[in-house]
Chains A and B, each alone.
Chain A
C-alpha cells in the first residue's frame, strides 16, 4: 500500500468523491472533513448534487451558495446552477446591474436552463474561485476543498467536459478556464478523485466501469477507493467453523433458540463472505489503494463516528 499517498491526502487542494447513489459517499466526505478539521486544516465541503445531503449529516437547517460553518470546524456549501451562472456573468460583464438584468431576463434564463454546458462551466468557475481564495495571512482560505460529486454520471460530465466541448470551444476565457481546470484535475499534486462503493455487486461493477473509462481518458489524478459498510464479525475462525456442528446439535436437541442464533450467524457470515468476494473482485480490477471501512451500527453518525471513519479514510488505516 502506498503510505506516501495517504500521508499527503489532506495536502491536496481538491478532493473529489464519486460513487453510485446510496453507497455512503456523503458520509465519507463528511468524515474526512471532520478528520481534517481535527488536524488543523480548513476543510470546505462543496455539494454539487443540489440535494444538500450534508444538512442531515451535520444536523443544520440550510446549506446554501455561501460557505457556512456546519460544526466540528467544517464549512459546507451547495452549488446552485443559476447562482453559479450569475457569478460567472458578474466576472465577465462590466457592471453588476447588467449582469443581473441578463440573468433575470426571462428569455435568456430559459436558454441557460435548457442549454448544455453553461451550468457545468459556471460550476467549474465557482470551484476555481473558491480554490484561489486566500486569507489575510496569504494562506488558502479553504484547504482542502472536498467536492461531493453526485452519482457517477455527474462526475463524468465534469471530468470529460474538455473532451465533450473540445471542437466547439475555440479560444477565449472559457476555453482557458476549462483547459486549466482539466490540467488541475489531472495533476496528482493538486487533486485526487476518490471512488466510494459498498461491497455489493452493482456498486462494485459501476466502480470498475468508471475506473476503466477514466483510466483510458487519463483526465484525472486518482485517490483511493473506499469500500463502505464492510460487515464485521466478532467470531473467531474456530467459532465460525463450529457453527454447522452447533446448529445440528441444537436441532437434534430441540434447542430452537440456539438453533435460530446459529442459523442467523451463518446467514451473516455468508453475507460477509459475499462482501469479501466483491472486494477481491474490486482489487483485481482497480489498481488503486483500497480502504475498507467497517459497517457501523448507529443509524445517524455523531462526531465521534465521523472522526473514526475519517481517520481510517485519510490514513488508509495506518494512523
Chain B
C-alpha cells in the first residue's frame, strides 16, 4: 500500500527508526499528508523540535495539542475537511495528568505525586517515555475524534519499548510484587506464611541493592500505585490492541548511512519477531542530487571527462582574475565523487531492501541542501512521500 493510501485509510501510523535521520520531521510530514487528504490528523512528537514548530507555524510544540493553520494548503487544493494538530509528549506533565485521571481519590493522588520515586521516574528514568507515550496515545485514540494519529518514537532500540510498555507495566502491576513487598494482614495458612517469609527475604535482598530508604520509598510508591492498578492494566490492554490493529501501520524511517541502515535492519527484524509488519520504509537524506537541472534524479554514474575544448570556448568569456583551466576537472571531480557516494548508498539501501517483505513500500528521499523551516519545506517532503 502506498503512503498516500496509508494516510487515507489507517488510523494510527507509528514511525520508528534510528536517531538523526529526520524521524520527527517525517512524522509531521506524514500527518500533514493526512490532513491534505482531508483527515483530522494529530502528530505526537517526542522532542520539542523548535524548527518543526516554526515550520508548522506554531509558537511551540508542547504537551497541549495545537492546531496548525492550513489555510495556505487549502489555497493549493488541500481537502477543506482536513486538519492537523501537533503536540509533544512531555514525560513529567503527562505522568502527573495520568495519575490525576486514574487516582481514585485526592489522598491517593497526593501520596503518589509527592513520592520521591515517582518524582525520579517521571523526570528522567528509562522507560518512562514509553509509558507516557502509551497514555498519550490512549487519550488521542480513545477520547478524541482524530481520524489519524501519527506517533513519533525515540531512536532505535528504544523505539520498540512502546510495544513492550503495555505488557511490562501490566506485569509489573500484576499484584504479586505488591503482595510480596507490602505488609498485610496477619497470615494464618502455611502458604500465606511462606509467602510472607518470601516477601521478607525479598525485601531484605532488595534492600541490599537499594538501601533501606530507597526501598521504603519504592514500597510506598507501589502501595499507592496498587489502587490504580486496574485502570493501568485496562489502558495497557487497550493500547496493546490499538498497536496491533489492522488500521495501524508501522513506518520505518532510516537513512542510507551504514549505521542507520544497520539499525533499520535490526528494527525491521525485531518488529517481524513481534509479528508487527513494516508497511513502509523511508530512506531519508539518501542521495545527493548531482544534476541541478533535474534535482530529483538519483544519479550514481557520471563520466569523469570534461567535454573536450570546453575551457578554450569558455575562457574568452571570463574576466581577470581568471581561474586556472584545471578548475574544470576539479569541479567535475566533485560531482563524480558525489555520484560514487550515491552508488555506495544505493548498495546499502539495496541490502536493506533485499530482506523486505514485497508488500512493504520503499521510499527514497534526497538530501535537501537546507533544513526545513517552513510549511513549504515540509510540503516538499510530503510530495516525495505520497508520490512514491
B118 to chain A minimum Cβ distance, whole angstroms, is 9
B211 touches A170 (CB 8 A): yes
Contact with B along A296-314 (1 / 0, CB 8 A): 0101100000000000000
Residue pair A157, B328 in contact (C-beta under 8 Å)? no
Cα of A271 to Cα of B291 in the assembled complex, Å: 16
1/0 per residue B2-31: CB within 8 Å of A? 000000000000000011110000000000
State the CA gap A151–B23 with chains docked (Å). Answer: 15
Tell me if A297 and B341 are in contact (CB < 8 A).
yes
Q: Please name the residue on chain B nearest to A156 by beta carbon.
A: B124
Quick check: B348 and A299 within 8 Å, CB to CB? Answer: yes
Which A residues are in CB contact (< 8 Å) with B292? 260, 263-264, 267
**Assembled-state Cα–Cα distance A253/B310 (Å):** 10
Number of interface residues of A (CB under 8 A): 84
Count how many chain B residues have C-beta atoms less than 8 Å from C-beta atoms of the other chain: 83
Verify if A315 is at the interface (C-beta below 8 Å from B).
no
Residue in A169, A173, A297 whose CB lies within 8 Å of B213 = A169
Most A CB contacts (10 A, CB to CB) among B168, B206, B371 go to: B206
Whether the pair B341, A22 counts as a contact (CB closer than 8 A) is no
Secondary structure dominating the interface of B: helix
**Nearest 3 Cβ contacts at the A-B interface:** A21-B19, A22-B20, A170-B213
Task: Report yes or no: B291 in contact with A258, Cβ–Cβ below 8 A.
Answer: no
* The residue from A153, A169, A173, A271 contacting B214, defined by CB atoms under 8 A apart: A169
Q: Are B314 and A270 touching (Cβ within 8 A)?
A: no
26 A–B contacts, CB within 8 A, in A order: A110-B174, A114-B171, A116-B121, A117-B125, A117-B214, A118-B210, A151-B154, A164-B120, A168-B120, A168-B213, A168-B214, A169-B214, A201-B51, A242-B327, A249-B314, A250-B314, A255-B307, A255-B313, A257-B307, A258-B310, A258-B314, A260-B335, A264-B290, A264-B331, A264-B338, A265-B334
Binding site for B on A (CB under 8 A): 20-24, 26-27, 49-51, 53, 56, 85, 88-89, 92-93, 98, 102, 105, 107-108, 110-111, 113-122, 151, 153, 156-157, 160, 164-165, 167-175, 200-203, 205, 234-235, 238-239, 242, 245-246, 249-250, 252-253, 255-258, 260-265, 267-268, 270-271, 274, 297, 299-300
| CB pair A49 B157 closer than 8 Å | yes
Within the complex, what minimum Cβ distance (angstroms) separates B319 from chain A? 7
Query: Is B197 an interface residue, CB under 8 A from the partner?
Result: no
Which residues in chain B, 338-369, are within 8 Å of chain A measured between CB atoms? 338, 340-341, 344-345, 348, 369
With A51-B263, A172-B211 as given contacts, are A253 and B313 in contact (CB-CB < 8 Å)? yes
Is B205 interfacial (CB-CB < 8 Å)?
yes
Chain B hits for A270, CB < 8 A: 369
Residues of B within 8 A of A205 (CB): 50
Q: Which residues of A contact B331 (CB under 8 A)?
A: 235, 258, 261-262, 264-265
Q: Report the Cα distance A268→B288, complex, angstroms.
A: 10
Question: Distance (Å) between the CB of A244 and the closest chain B CB?
Answer: 11
**CB-CB < 8 A to A267: which residues of B?**
292, 369
CB distance from A70 to the nearest CB of B (A): 15
Chain A: minimal CB distance from B237 (Å): 17
B255 within 8 Å of A (CB atoms):
yes
Q: Which residue of A lies closest to B333 (CB)?
A: A234
B184–chain A nearest beta-carbon distance, Å = 15
User: Which residues of B sit under 8 angstroms from A153, Cβ to Cβ?
Assistant: 124, 154
Residues in chain A near residue B59, CB distance under 8 A: none
Residue of A nearest to B321 (CB): A238
Residues of chain B contacted by A156 (CB below 8 angstroms): 124
In the complex, chain B residues whose CB is within 8 Å of the CB of A157: 124-126
Q: A22-B20, A89-B208 are in contact. List 6 more A-B contacts (CB 8 A).
A: A51-B263, A93-B208, A108-B206, A242-B322, A245-B319, A250-B314
**Which among B157, B202, B214 has the highest number of chain A CB atoms within 10 Å?**
B214
- Return the contact of A172 from the options B121, B155, B157, B212 (Cβ within 8 A): B212
Tell me the bound Cα distance from A238 to B323 in angstroms.
Answer: 7
Binary per-residue interface labels of chain B (287-329) against chain A in the complex, 1 for a CB within 8 Å, 0 otherwise: 0001111000000000000110010011001110111100110
In the complex, per-residue mask of B110-128: 1 if CB is within 8 Å of any chain A CB, else 0:
0000001100110111111
Least CB distance from A170 to B in Å reads 3
Closest partner residue, chain A, to B214 (CB atom)? A168
The answer to whether B126 and A120 have CB atoms under 8 Å apart is yes
How far does the Cβ of B342 sit from chain A's closest Cβ, in whole Å?
A: 11
> How far does the Cβ of A274 sit from chain B's closest Cβ, in whole Å?
7
Specify which chain B residues have a CB less than 8 angstroms from the CB of A23 in the assembled complex: 20
Assess whether B332 is interfacial by the CB under 8 Å rule: yes
A274 to B367, CA, bound (A): 15
Are A107 and B314 in contact, with the CB atoms below 8 A?
Answer: no
Asked whether, in the complex, the Cβ of B177 is within 8 Å of the Cβ of A169, the reply is: no
**Chain A residue at smallest Cβ distance from B316:** A249
Docked-complex contact B341 and A242, CB < 8 angstroms = no
Q: Is the CB–CB distance between B20 and A203 below 8 Å?
A: yes
B209 at the A interface (CB under 8 A): yes
What chain A residues lie within 8 Å of B318 (beta carbons)? Answer: 242, 245-246, 249
The residue on A at minimum CB distance from B181 is A111
What distance in Å separates the Cβ of A2 from its nearest Cβ neighbour in chain B? 29
- Which positions 220-260 of chain B face chain A at CB distance < 8 Å? 255, 257-260
- B65 close to chain A: CB less than 8 A: no
